[in-house]
Structure 1
Amino acid sequence: MTESEPRPDRYLRCQRAMFEAPAHALIDALAAALREHYGVLAVDLLLADYELNVLCPVIGVAEPVPVTGSAAGQVFVDRRAIVTEGPEGVRLLLPAAARGDAAGVLILDLEARPGPSELDELVFLATALGHDLRAADSVTDRYRNARRRTALTVAAEMQWHLLPGRSCRKPEFALAGQLEPAYSVCGDNFDWAAEDDHLVLTVTNGHGTGIEASLLTVLAVTAMRNARLASPRISDHAALADQAVYAQHAGRRHLSSLLLRFDLDTGMVAAVDAGSPMVLRLRGAELTQVNLEAQLPLGMFESTVYVEQTFRAEPGDRLIVLSDGVHESPYGNQRYTEQGRLRQTLVGTRRLPPAEAVRAVLADHNVFRQGVPLDDDAAIVVVDWAGRQQP
């Protein structure tokens, strides 16, 4: 660290280095700036793989680091910095995240423990890196490639490009989602848009396999996004997606979707259940299913009229949305929802943040199947509702 350099100037120089760097050299430019202006000895960057099982190296360490049971994994899950001290110096593990969506972990080695203001600067630089990594993915393949432990299918490539992210956080809520099998998913999807006064969330249960299933989901999700810009009513979003799918396939192909619109001020939720995704509500230790009237899947018939239903989310509620690849998943003669297994898992993970709860449910789902690969896509989204604090 250059002691004579003013603190704000040092911080801004590192930010400027990232801003001016080519997308593929983003982390290299930041690493050089951190060495020059903060005296950092070594820089590592780890990015989460598509299955959220390991953190993959971009620079620095040579081997992937498991998310479970590692300090870097704890930082990735909790989105909180960790400082460790040893005979060789101090190590900072900092979350690289953008609006609650964690990309990975920035690891810095220093000679001495940083002071509070210096630590704050480094935490903010890691956050800035998280934002820049999101933007860089549209320009370079370097970071996407680092996250892959094996090749994605073409259908899976389409689905991952369609996602808005894997987690999102605002004062009123925190949510996270995941698709499985991560490297070959083809039809299931989740989508959201967070605005000043509302959150729109959709979970789509795909139909079919391979590229055809992925194309069908892309059509439906794109139609719902298009409708979202024209109307606040999710019944209109469902209707436009229904029309788009029917116009293309004339009822031969259709898909199921759940559409939710949360009012951030009141907690009222408008819902359209166009098929099979299941909504569960965990209030305290009580887990119940949110009973919604099932309506026709998108694209089954021409000009279907969809009706919104409502329920209320209370502060402290956790909502869990599952596609049928989770709640209808069979192994032998049993389904995952039978004998209380899903209930036990959801209640048991109540204190975990949404992203970690998603990982825990999918891990238990894999144990239930005894490691047998999924024969259907699985999507899960967890929403922790806090509501808006009234002045």
Structure 2
Amino acid sequence: MPSANPPQAPDAAAVQHAFASFLRRTHLSSPSAIARIVAEESATLGGEHVQVCLVDHEQEMLITVPEHEGAESVEHSIDGTLAGRCFAATTIVHGQPDADGCVRLWVPLLDGTERLGVLGMTVRAAWLDDELITSWERFAHLVAVTIVAKRAYGDVFARVRRRAPMTIASELLWSLAPPLVFATDDLALAGLLEPAYDNGGDALDYAVNGRTLHAGVFDAMGHGLPAAGVAAFAVSAYRHSRRAGLDLEATYEAMDAAVGEQYPDRRFVTAVITELDLDAGHLRWICAGHPPPVIIRDRHPVLPATTPVPPLGTRLQHRPPAVATAALEPGDLVLLHTDGLTEAQNPAGERFSPERVVRFIIREAAAGRTAPETLRRMRHALLHREQAELRDDATALLLEWRSGGELRILPPTVAG
């Protein structure tokens, strides 16, 4: 028999109350309490059976954050599930109504454009109009920002993302890594760090200051904790020089001297450091014993002339370092990578060569994939479909300039 007082769809007042209550409660909350607060405040928005899911380090699974200590986490595969489609396409998705007229709704958890995971809840299908879906998108954004703000104060989010033991070397390098997805006007970028739990010598870094992108990829000699320590020092030296306002040439010279003085036992770091003028598309870089950037234009690789200089720490460069330049065109992609990416071998002994890497990126770009999704799928193809063995750490940064990629990362409710 129908209820005399059927539940009502949340109105504007309910939405405002949910947002205000969530903000008030999270001011003094611990990181471990966030999932429970999300679930309780979601009820005001008409959501039941709420799941806050974070992506694991290998970007294969979405794992629920427990609402209380001792609760078991649930995993959703990124491939083949609605939750996974929501994450991969950064779009809001829902299933078919069940016998009770309810649907499972999935909303991306985005801090800006960093893909943290997804928020899942069950709602009444009859309530799903544009206004409520937009409210859920805004609420998910608030949840994502809160997770980023709170993760520095506890370990719950870091633990959820791990599906395997992590080495101390990887712990060090992950602690220094910037978010692996970022976008701003005219720019979208994504990063890759592999193996996720045993990376012992590769690192990446970037910063956008005004309308200039600074980006670098680093590969320290050796493997394990000693190499990770050198890589971490190189990243710190890079940031120190960048924040001091040094130009590209002076940054290389300062880093070379710093690594050489700190590690006189002849440890060194290969690197490529770049600057990109986001308005003009003017790209400058220095290759310190490292593979040069690959520019992909109109589905073809462009390999500008590059004069390499000695690796960082060798102190063998006795004149100003050579700086290579290129004028990007709208829609260009730029790939920075360590040699571990192109030296991986499948069981047949075939290398994931530079040519194959470029072909893969071209194919994904033609299919409309965003930079972060392209690198996620590359990792999946490399380690699963190809069953490749990484002979060295594999690190990459993929940049898109004036391709509209920054808008494709966002849900339609945000991108407009």
Fold in common (TM above 0.5): yes
Query: How far did 1:51 drift?
Result: 0.7
Pick from 181, 185, 188: which aligns with 1:171? 185
* Residues 7/362 of structure 1: CA separation in 2 closer, same or farther (3 Å cut): closer
Point out where structure 2 has 5 or more consecutive residues left out of the alignment. Answer: 1-8, 405-416
Aligned to 2:229: 215
Aligned to 1:375: 391
Question: What secondary structure sits across from 2:65 in the alignment?
Answer: strand
CA contact (8 A) 1:285 1:347 kept: yes
Structure 1 moving runs of 4+ over 6 Å: none
Pick from 55, 59, 65: which aligns with 1:58? 65
CA contact (8 A) 2:308 2:322 kept: no
The one-letter code matched in structure 2 to 1:40 is G
Distance 1:333 1:77 in 2: 31
Aligned to 1:228: 242
Deviates more, 1:261-270 or 1:115-124: 115-124
CA contact (8 A) 1:314 1:387 kept: no
Aligned to 2:53: 46
Query: How far did 1:143 drift?
Result: 0.7
User: TM-score, normalising length from structure 1?
Assistant: 0.91
Query: How far did 1:232 drift?
Result: 4.5
Distance 1:75 1:240 in 2: 44
Aligned to 1:139: 153
Distance 1:9 1:77 in 2: 31
* Residues 343/302 of structure 1: CA separation in 2 closer, same or farther (3 Å cut): closer
Query: How far did 1:286 drift?
Result: 1.3
Distance 1:169 1:143 in 2: 23
User: TM-score, normalising length from structure 2?
Assistant: 0.86
Pick from 14, 17, 23: which aligns with 1:15? 23
Query: How far did 1:263 drift?
Result: 0.8
Distance 1:367 1:67 in 2: 14
Aligned to 1:289: 303
Aligned to 2:122: 109
Pick from 81, 86, 95: which aligns with 1:75? 86
Distance 1:300 1:97 in 2: 41
Deviates more, 1:112-121 or 1:46-55: 112-121
* Residues 243/39 of structure 1: CA separation in 2 closer, same or farther (3 Å cut): same
Aligned to 2:95: 84
- Number of matched residues? 386
Query: How far did 1:208 drift?
Result: 0.5
Distance 1:298 1:177 in 2: 22
Question: How does 1:293-312 map onto structure 2 within 5 Å?
Answer: 293-301=307-315, 305-312=320-327
Aligned to 2:274: 260
Deviates more, 1:102-111 or 1:59-68: 59-68
Aligned to 1:198: 212
Aligned to 1:353: 370
Point out where structure 1 has 5 or more consecutive residues left out of the alignment. Answer: none
CA contact (8 A) 1:188 1:378 kept: yes
Aligned to 1:320: 335
User: What percentage of aligned pairs have identical amino acids?
Assistant: 24
